[in-house]
Structure 1
Amino acid sequence: MPQMAPMWWTSILLTTSITLLLMMMINYFTSVKKINFNINKNSKNLKWKWY
């Protein structure tokens, strides 16, 4: 069925693009959480002084 070939290509392209976007979002949010956790952890250890 050659008339169904474009549907296969579009489905493959859509699935690959969606999976790439999902992986990028997951990596971004996990890295942001790690960075914020490190910042909060470091800020608790600081001893503030009034000048």
Structure 2
Amino acid sequence: DTDVVQVDVPVINMTQSQESFTISFEENNGLFLTFTWDTTKVQVPITQ
């Protein structure tokens, strides 16, 4: 198996728990692909 992409991003610890694993897009001073689960949030910046 070969990785196509590898990205180092910070992990955000949330105060409220997310019951199910969620993938979404968020706009907050830029566009981010966001992954949330349990009390973990990871935002991958998307740029052109």
TM-score by length of 1: 0.17
TM-score by length of 2: 0.17
More helix by share: 1
Structure with more relative contact order (C-alpha pairs < 8 Å, separation 6 or more) = 2
Higher radius of gyration, 1 or 2: 1
More strand by share: 2
